[in-house]
Amino acid sequence: MTTQPTASHFVDGAYIEDTTGEKIDVIYPATGKKIATLYAATPAIVEKALASAKRAQKEWAGWTATERGRVLRKAADIMRERNHELSVLETYDTGKPYQETSVADATSGADALEYFGGLAASITGEHIQMGEDFVYTRREPLGVCVGIGAWNYPTQIACWKAAPALACGNAMVFKPSEMTPLCALKVAEILVEAGAPAGVFNVIQGYGAVGASLISDPRVDKVSLTGSVPTGRKVYAAAAEGMRHVTMELGGKSPLVIFDDADLEKAVSGAILGNFYSTGQVCSNGTRVFVQKGIKDAFLKRLTERLAGIRIGDPQDPEVNFGPMVSERQRDIVEGYIAKGIDEGATLVTGGKRVEGDGYFIEATVFADVTDNMTIAREEIFGPVMAVLDFDDEAEVLARANDTEFGLAAGVFTADLTRAHRMAAGFEAGTCYINTYNLAPVEAPFGGSKMSGVGRENSKAAIEHYSQIKGVYVAMGEVEAPF
C-alpha cells in the first residue's frame, strides 16, 4: 500500500499542496520508520478551505434533506466496500492492530454516515397553535463547522463529526491530529465520490497554530474537538470569544466497579476492553478498576491468565492483537507513570516494561493495591496501565468513583440489576455501562460531564449540536398596539 497521500490537504473537492508549510513526518508506530511526509496548512490553504466551505454550505443547505441523506448513505456503502484498504491505512496511521481496525474504525465511521444519512430527512420543525395565530419552527444548519480530531481513532472521529454536521446542512473544515493525518483524507475523497459538493468537507493538516487560526476565524459557526482537557480549555476559551457553538469530548479517568457477585469472566473481559483495547489509548477507558475485596484475588489471577493471550508483533498480521503506542513520546509518558506507580507503593502484578526491538511497544501493565491518592489513580495515562483498587461496600465505592475532576464514562459489573441501576444513576459520568464496557454504537449518545466535555456525539442528540431552531410567529388577525 502507498501511504504517501496525493497531497497534504483536501480542499474544495481536490488535493492541494503547499510545501512552504511546516513539515509533518508520519511515523509508523510499529517500526519507528517514516511512511509519509505532509505539510501543515499555510494561511493561504486555511483561507481556501474556509472560503470553499462557506460557499459550498449555501449550496448544500439548499438540497433537500433526503438528497443529503442519500449522499451520506452512499459514502457509507463505499466505505464498507473499501474496509480492508481503509483498515490497513488506519493501522499504518495509528499502529493499532489490523485485527482491531478491520472491525472498529472504518466500520464505525460507515455506521455514522449511514445513521445520520437515514436521519437527515426527519430533521424538521414543529407547528404550535396559538388560538387563531400559530408559530412554526425551522431547524436550520449552523453554517461552517470546524472539527479537530484526536490521534487514536482518526477515521471514526472524522465521520462522527462530519456525519451529523453534513446531515443538518453544514459544511466542515476538519483538522486531524498531526500524528495521524492520513485517514481523514480518505473520508473526504469518499464523500466527494458519493456526490457531496466540492467544499462541503475539507481536510487540512497542521499543528496547534492551524487549529487556532480556524477556531478564531469569524466565518466559523461551530467547533467540535476531541482531545485532552488542557487543549479543550484553550479551544473553549477561543471559541467563546466569537460566541461559537462548541462540543467537546475530552479526557477521562473513568471508574469500573466490579462487585463480588459479578460473573468473573465477563468482568475480566470488561476490564481488558476498558484498559488494553487500542493499547489503552481510548479516552473512555475504565482505568480505575474497583474490585470488591471478596473477589479481588480471583480477579487478579484470572486477569493475569488472560493477559498471557496477548500477541505482540506486526500490527498488519491479523493474528496480532496488541499494538504499539502511537509515538515514542507517548511511550515515554506511559513509562513515567509506571515508574510513579512503583515509587508510590503500588504492587506491579504484571507488565511494566517496554518490548525490545523496533517500534513503540510496551507491555500491558497491571497495578494492584492502588490507593485513591496515587498519581496513577488520579491522572489520565492514555496507555495500557490498569490500576486495581479494592473496596468494601456500594456507598463507599460510589463516592470514591466520583472523586475525580473527570466524568466521561463509568461502568459496573454485578448480578444485582437493582444495584447496577443505582450505580448508573449515581455515577457522575456522561456514558455508563452495566455488565459491559467501552461499546459506542452510533445510535447511543456519547460524551462526558465535568471536565470531560460539553455536548454529545452520535444519536439524535448530536442533531441539537449541529443545528439551531428558528421560531416564526404567524398572526392571522388584527395587530394591536398601545398607541
Catalytic, out of 96, 161, 186, 296:
161
- Judge whether 15 and 31 are in contact, CB under 8 Å: no
Residue that has been written with the C-alpha cell 469500573 in this structure: 256
Residue that has been written with the C-alpha cell 461559537 in this structure: 244
Q: Answer left, alpha or beta for residue 368, where phi above 0 means left and psi between -120 and 50 means alpha.
A: beta
- Judge whether 326 and 29 are in contact, CB under 8 Å: yes
CA dist., res. 154 & res. 150, Å (int): 7
Question: In the annotation, is 283 catalytic?
Answer: yes
SS3 127: strand
Instruction: Provide the CA 104 distance to its chain's centre, in angstroms.
Output: 12
Catalytic, out of 189, 380, 394, 457:
457
Q: Parallel, antiparallel, or unpaired: how do β-strands 409-413 and 255-258 relate?
A: parallel
Question: In the annotation, is 161 catalytic?
Answer: yes
Q: Pinpoint the alpha helices (H) of 95-247.
A: 98-104, 106-119, 154-167, 183-193, 208-215, 229-241
Task: Using alpha carbons, select from 149, 44, 125 the residue that is nearest to residue 467.
Answer: 125
Backbone angles phi, psi at 59, to 5 degrees: -65, -50
CA dist., res. 203 & res. 7, Å (int): 11
Catalytic, out of 168, 283, 380, 432:
283
Task: Using alpha carbons, select from 449, 408, 382, 456 the residue that is nearest to residue 256.
Answer: 408
Catalytic, out of 90, 189, 249, 380:
249
Q: Which residues contact 11 (CB under 8 A, 6 or more apart)?
A: 45, 48, 49, 52, 199, 202, 203, 204
List, by residue number, the catalytic residues.
161, 249, 283, 457
